[in-house]
Amino acid sequence: MKRRNFLRIAAASPIAAALLSPLNLLRGQIPPNRPQGAPQGGFPGRSQGPTEYVPTGPGIKVRFMGTGGADWRGQPINGEYRRNASILVDGKVIFDLTQTAVDMIPADCHPETIFYTHSHNDHYVPKAALDVGIKRVYLGETWIDRAKEDFRKAAEGTGKPLPEFIPLKEGQTVTVEGLTVTALPANHASNYNEEQTLIYLIVKDSARLLYATDTGGLTARALGFAGAGQFSRDRKFLTGIIMEATMDANYAPDQRIFSHSSVDLVAQTVQVLSQTRNYLPVEGQKVYITHLGRSYPPQAEIDATLPAPLSAAYDGLEVLYP
Ligand SMILES: [Zn+2]
Ligand SMILES: [Zn+2]
């Protein structure tokens, strides 16, 4: 920004004007919140990092089994329908599952592991997990006791064995089925205030895929745990992003802004992560939006209006993240 423009804006802002007071300018003070040596919005040392991503392995295969927000409730619109948000990774690991997406598990796949993001019933239905034969349940430590009780009730009288439960702390990394998965804090809330909801970083070979639903934007701490935060010391870039865009571009602001993302927010997030080289995908890789609300137009129309590299996921879409 040209200094003249900056001063003009500063004059309109009492805080900025105070920071620019002649005394501060005289002393050469750096305004608060701007670390010394870091350009505004910049990442010190980031310019030394790689400019191109060269994959070292086959990568992560994602099957979108459900791409709808909670408001679909099994009701098609104009012949189109989205199941509850769910993905199957490498045919072996599920992230969130309700009965709506059970039919999307391919016949030759028998996933035994599930990661839950949170306990909203458009993501978490114990009966569905038991029905498909889940043996390992990874979920936030903040609600594990409740989940165990829910599963016990769901299994009652069915003769189905209870799975093993593995609690995750924020930032904790586990390895299962060839995937290294890190639990990241989401900006979301369930009906239980003590529950810290999660999003996930999925790593295999050199591929680093962020699966972010449900969340209102990405928090600095989540990016920090993923190695892509502004202040991360151990910097690593993301090579794939799947992010929720519950609200379409034309939505009127409502309470969802506190816990969900709009398509505009996702576009801005990707733009900034790209500019700062915290997102460095292979050429042509799309950023898929998921957990789409019912207010979106039909699939064919969505992609026509989305800014690159955004694309709308749909139920049954399979994507390889090298
Ligand atoms: Zn949801
Ligand atoms: Zn939710």
Distances (CA, A) of 59 to 15, 95, 156, 174: 48, 17, 39, 18
CA distance 36 to 28: 12
Q: Which ligand is nearest to the CA of 120?
A: 2
How far does the centroid of ligand 2 lie from the alpha carbon of residue 260, in Å? 8
How far does the centroid of ligand 1 lie from the alpha carbon of residue 85, in Å? 7
How far does the centroid of ligand 2 lie from the alpha carbon of residue 158, in Å? 28
Q: Which ligand is nearest to the CA of 292?
A: 1
Q: Domain segments of the chain: what residues?
A: 1-33, 48-321
Phi, psi for 64 (deg, rounded to 5): -75, 110
Q: What DSSP string runs through 147-193?
A: HHHHHHHHHTTT-PPPPEEEEE-TT-EEEETTEEEEEEE-S---SST
pTM of the model: 0.86
- The pLDDT value recorded for residue 2 is 40
pLDDT band at 48 (very low <50, low <70, confident <90, very high): low
- The pLDDT value recorded for residue 145 is 98
Q: Which ligand is nearest to the CA of 216?
A: 2
- What would the mean pLDDT of 310-321 be, rounded to a whole number? 98
Which residues contact residue 55 at a Cβ distance below 8 angstroms, ignoring those fewer than 6 apart?
A: 205, 206, 207, 239, 282, 322
How far does the centroid of ligand 1 lie from the alpha carbon of residue 204, in Å? 26
Contact 211, 179 (CB under 8 A): no
- The pLDDT value recorded for residue 234 is 76
Q: Which ligand is nearest to the CA of 118?
A: 2
How far does the centroid of ligand 1 lie from the alpha carbon of residue 181, in Å? 20
Q: Is the pLDDT of residue 157 over 50?
A: yes
What pLDDT, in 10s, does the model give residues 272-310?
999 999 999 999 999 999 999 999 999 999 999 999 999
Quick one: tokens of 246? 């519950």
How far does the centroid of ligand 1 lie from the alpha carbon of residue 119, in Å? 9
How far does the centroid of ligand 2 lie from the alpha carbon of residue 197, in Å? 8
Among 261, 316, 268, 321, residue whose Cα is nearest residue 289: 261
What pLDDT, in 10s, does the model give residues 49-59?
688 999 999 99
Tell me the average pLDDT of the chain: 88
- What would the mean pLDDT of 46-68 be, rounded to a whole number? 88
Q: What is the separation, in whole angstroms, between the first and last Cα of the chain?
A: 37
What pLDDT, in 10s, does the model give residues 217-275?
999 999 999 999 888 777 899 999 999 999 999 999 999 999 999 999 999 999 999 99
- The pLDDT value recorded for residue 78 is 80
Q: What DSSP string runs through 101-112?
A: GGGGS-TT----
Please tell us whether the domain made up of 48-321 is placed in CATH 3.60.15.10: yes
Q: Which ligand is nearest to the CA of 192?
A: 2
